[in-house]
C-alpha cells in the first residue's frame, strides 16, 4: 500500500507510540489526584506542555490542551469574539478557504450577530498582509487566517499578517494544523496571538491538540466542569495522547529541514510528471507550498471515482477534504481559487510524508495517468469534449 493522504492524518511514529505506552503503564493516574501516581501523570502533563511550548517559541503557561485542531479553532475564535463583543467589536476577518472548523464557527457567530468578512484568496490561494490591513476596522475583534491550506498546500505570509494586526491592536489567530511539525513556527517572532495545532497531522495520536494563547489573552472554556487546564478546558486530561503529541512534535521539529528537503523533491517530481497529463491543472502555488502537497484538477474525471480506482490499486489519496466527501458540493477551497464547479469535481490531492519513497512516486506517476485515461474513456462528457461538442475548460 502507498499512503499519500498525510494531510488527512498521519501514521503515529515510534517515539509517540512509545511515549503513550509508557504513560499508560506507568503514569495512568488522574493528574488532579494528590498521591504519587496522580502526580506522576501531572508531571508527564507539565513536561509535555513545556516541550510543546518550546517547539513553537511559547511559554508553557500559554498552552491549553484540547481534543484536537477543531476544538482549538473553535475555542480561539469563540473566546476572542466574546472578548471583542464585550468592547462593542463584532467584525471578524478571515479568508474564503479556511478549514471547516474555522468556517463553521464563523458561520455560527454570524448567526449570533457578528459580521464576518472573508477575504478572497486569488488564483494561487493566498492573502497579503496589505489585504488584511485594508480590511481592519475600528470594530474588528479578530483576524483568523490559516498558516497553510490543507487542500492546496499554499503557505500564507503569517509574520506579515501578524505584524499588520499588531500594529492596529487587533488579535490574530492562525490555524497552524497543517504547518506544525512541517514548517518553522515561532509565535513571538511571527506576531501570533493564538495558534491551533493537532497531533495527528504530525505523526502523533488522534484526539489531541493544543491552543496557544499569548499571555494576557483570556480563553473562554467551551466545556463546563472541573478546573483542569487552569479553568480553560474542563475534563480529565488525555495524558497519554498529550505525551504522544509532545514526543511527535519534538521528533518532527528535530528532522524538519531534512524531511522537508526530501519530501518536497518527491512533491516536485509528482507535480512535473502529472502536469504532463493533458487538460490537467495544478491547484495552488507551484513554489510556495507545503513540502508534501500535490493537488491537481483533471478535466473529464470525477474525483471520487479516481480516488476509488487508485484505492483498488493500493494507493490512498484524497479528493478535496476528507470532511467533504459524502457531500455533492465541490470543495469550497477549489471554488475560492476560481476553479469552475466542473473542474473542482475532478480534483485529486496527494499528500506525502518522510516515509514516502522514490518507488512510491514512480508508482503514483504510473497509476494516476492510467486511472485518468481509463475514467475519461468511460465518460460521455469527455467524449463530447474530444468530438468538439463541448469546450475544454482546462
Ligand atoms: C485537520 C485539520 C483541522 C482539524 O483538526 P482535528 O484534530 O482533526 O480536529 C483543522 N484545520 C486544518 C487546517 C486541518 O488540516
Cα(320) to centroid(ligand 1), Å: 14
Cell of 256: 524538519
Residues 50-63 have a mean pLDDT of 98
Q: Are 382 and 300 in contact (CB under 8 A)?
A: yes
Most ligand 1 atoms within 8 A of CB, residue of 7, 9, 101, 351 to mutate? 101
Cα(197) to centroid(ligand 1), Å: 8
Cβ neighbors of 316 (< 8 A, separation 6 or more) are: 1, 2, 3, 4, 5, 310
Q: Does 219 score more than 60 pLDDT?
A: yes
Which band of pLDDT confidence, cut at 50, 70 and 90, is reported for residue 95?
very high
Helix (H) and strand (E) counts in the chain = 13, 12
Cβ neighbors of 164 (< 8 A, separation 6 or more) are: 129, 130, 132, 133, 136
What is the pLDDT at residue 320?
66
* Secondary structure (3-state) at 321: coil
Q: What percent of the chain has pLDDT over 90?
A: 97
What is the pLDDT at residue 329?
81
Which band of pLDDT confidence, cut at 50, 70 and 90, is reported for residue 323?
very low
- Give the CB-side neighbour count of residue 274, counting CA atoms within 13 A: 30
Q: Kindly report the protein residue whose alpha carbon is nearest to atom 12 of ligand 1.
A: 177
| Rounded Cα distance, 374 and 134, in Å | 48
* Secondary structure (3-state) at 221: coil
Which H or E element spans position 156?
A: none
Picking from 163, 153, 155, the residue whose alpha carbon sits closest to that of residue 130 is 163
Instruction: Please state the φ and ψ torsions of residue 138, each to the nearest 5 degrees.
Output: -55, -35
Which band of pLDDT confidence, cut at 50, 70 and 90, is reported for residue 326?
low
Cα(42) to centroid(ligand 1), Å: 27
Q: Are 257 and 265 in contact (CB under 8 A)?
A: no
Picking from 263, 267, 266, the residue whose alpha carbon sits closest to that of residue 255 is 263
Cβ neighbors of 358 (< 8 A, separation 6 or more) are: 266
| Rounded Cα distance, 146 and 77, in Å | 12
Facing residues of 212 across strands?
63, 195
Instruction: Please state the φ and ψ torsions of residue 189, each to the nearest 5 degrees.
Output: -60, -30
Residues 103-107 have a mean pLDDT of 98
Q: Are 314 and 327 in contact (CB under 8 A)?
A: no
**Arithmetic mean of pLDDT over the chain:** 97
Residues 262-272 have a mean pLDDT of 98
Q: Does 322 score more than 50 pLDDT?
A: no
Count, residues in the chain: 394
Residue by residue, what is the 3-state secondary structure of 99-122?
Answer: CHHHHHHHHHHHHCCCEEEEECCC
Q: What is the pTM of this model?
A: 0.97
* Ligand 1, residues at Cβ distance < 6 Å: 68-70, 73, 99, 101, 146, 150, 175, 177-178, 198, 200-201, 209
**Would strands 194-198 and 171-175 be described as parallel, antiparallel, or unpaired?**
parallel
Residues 266-282 have a mean pLDDT of 98
**Would strands 315-316 and 293-298 be described as parallel, antiparallel, or unpaired?**
unpaired
Q: Compute CA 286 distance to the chain's CA centroid, rounded to the nearest angstrom.
A: 18
Residues 81-99 have a mean pLDDT of 98
Cα(69) to centroid(ligand 1), Å: 5
**For the chain, first and last CA: distance in Å?**
31
| Rounded Cα distance, 298 and 286, in Å | 17
What is the pLDDT at residue 296?
98
Cell of 230: 487552569
**Would strands 293-298 and 115-119 be described as parallel, antiparallel, or unpaired?**
unpaired
Most ligand 1 atoms within 8 A of CB, residue of 178, 179, 210, 248 to mutate? 178
Cβ neighbors of 189 (< 8 A, separation 6 or more) are: 57, 159
**C-beta neighbour count of 205 within 10 angstroms:** 22
| Rounded Cα distance, 22 and 215, in Å | 32
Amino acid at each position: 500500500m502507498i499512503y499519500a493522504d498525510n494531510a488527512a492524518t498521519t501514521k503515529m511514529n515510534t517515539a509517540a507510540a512509545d511515549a503513550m505506552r509508557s504513560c499508560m503503564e506507568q503514569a495512568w493516574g488522574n493528574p488532579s489526584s494528590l498521591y504519587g501516581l496522580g502526580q506522576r501523570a501531572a508531571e508527564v502533563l507539565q513536561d509535555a506542555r513545556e516541550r510543546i511550548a518550546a517547539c513553537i517559541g511559547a511559554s508553557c503557561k500559554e498552552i491549553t490542551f484540547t481534543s484536537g485542531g477543531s476544538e482549538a479553532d473553535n475555542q480561539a475564535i469563540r473566546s476572542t469574539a466574546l472578548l471583542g463583543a464585550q468592547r462593542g467589536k463584532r467584525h471578524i476577518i478571515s479568508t474564503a478557504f479556511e478549514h471547516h472548523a474555522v468556517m463553521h464557527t464563523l458561520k455560527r457567530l454570524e448567526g449570533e450577530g457578528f459580521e464576518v468578512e472573508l477575504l478572497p484568496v486569488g488564483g494561487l490561494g493566498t492573502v497579503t498582509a496589505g489585504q488584511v490591513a485594508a480590511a481592519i476596522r475600528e470594530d474588528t475583534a479578530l483576524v483568523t487566517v490559516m498558516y497553510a491550506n490543507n487542500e492546496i498546500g499554499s503557505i500564507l505570509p503569517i509574520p506579515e499578517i501578524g505584524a499588520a494586526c499588531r500594529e492596529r491592536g487587533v488579535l490574530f489567530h492562525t490555524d497552524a494544523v497543517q504547518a506544525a511539525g512541517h514548517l518553522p513556527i515561532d509565535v513571538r517572532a511571527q506576531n501570533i496571538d493564538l495558534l491551533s495545532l493537532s497531533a495527528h497531522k504530525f505523526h502523533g495520536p488522534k484526539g489531541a491538540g493544543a491552543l496557544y494563547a499569548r499571555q494576557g489573552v483570556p480563553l473562554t472554556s467551551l466545556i463546563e466542569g472541573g478546573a483542569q487546564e487552569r479553568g480553560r478546558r474542563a475534563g480529565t486530561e488525555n495524558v497519554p495522547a498529550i505525551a504522544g503529541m509532545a514526543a511527535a512534535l519534538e521528533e518532527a521539529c528535530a528532522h524538519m529541514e531534512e524531511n522537508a528537503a526530501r519530501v518536497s523533491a518527491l512533491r516536485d517530481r509528482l507535480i512535473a510528471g502529472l502536469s504532463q497529463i493533458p487538460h490537467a491543472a495544478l491547484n495552488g502555488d507551484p513554489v510556495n507550498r507545503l513540502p508534501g502537497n500535490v493537488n491537481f484538477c483533471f478535466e473529464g474525471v470525477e474525483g471520487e471515482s479516481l480516488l476509488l480506482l487508485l484505492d483498488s490499486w493500493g494507493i490512498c489519496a484524497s479528493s478535496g477534504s476528507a470532511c467533504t466527501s459524502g457531500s455533492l458540493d465541490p470543495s469550497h477551497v477549489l471554488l475560492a481559487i476560481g476553479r469552475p464547479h466542473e473542474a473542482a469535481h475532478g480534483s485529486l490531492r496527494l499528500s506525502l510524508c518522510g516515509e514516502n519513497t522514490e518507488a512510491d512516486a514512480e508508482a503514483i506517476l504510473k497509476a494516476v495517468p492510467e486511472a485518468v485515461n481509463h475514467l475519461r474513456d468511460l465518460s460521455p462528457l469527455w467524449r463530447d469534449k474530444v468530438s468538439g461538442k463541448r469546450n475544454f475548460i482546462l
